[in-house]
Amino acid sequence: MISTRMSRPVRVLLLASAMIAVAAVAVACGTQRIAVPKASSLYAGAVLFNQRCSGCHTLSYAATQGSAPNVRTAQANNGPDFDIRCERPVTRVLYAIENGGFSGAYMPQNVVVGQDAIEVAKFVATYSGRKAPKVTGTTVCSSQPIGTIPPPTATATANTTPTTTTAPSSTAHKGAAKGAKAKKRPARP
User: What pLDDT is recorded for position 187?
Assistant: 55
The full set of domains in the chain, from first to last, is 43-150 (1.10.760.10)
Instruction: Return the pLDDT at 165.
Output: 47
**pLDDT mean over 144-150:** 92
Task: Pick the closest to residue 130 from 119, 141, 143, 145 (CA basis).
Answer: 141
Please report how the helices 114-127 and 43-53 are oriented relative to each other, as an axis angle in degrees rounded to 10: 100
The answer to whether 84 and 61 have CB atoms below 8 angstroms apart is: no
Residue-wise pLDDT tens digits, 110-137: 999 999 999 999 999 999 999 999 999 9
Task: Give residue 23's pLDDT.
Answer: 54
In tens, the pLDDT along 9-43 reads 777 777 767 666 655 544 444 567 999 999 999 99
pLDDT computed for residue 74 by the predictor: 86
Residues 54-63 pLDDT 10s: 999 999 999 9
**Its pTM surpasses 0.75:** no
Mean pLDDT of 164-189: 48
DSSP run (H or E) holding 65 = strand 64-65
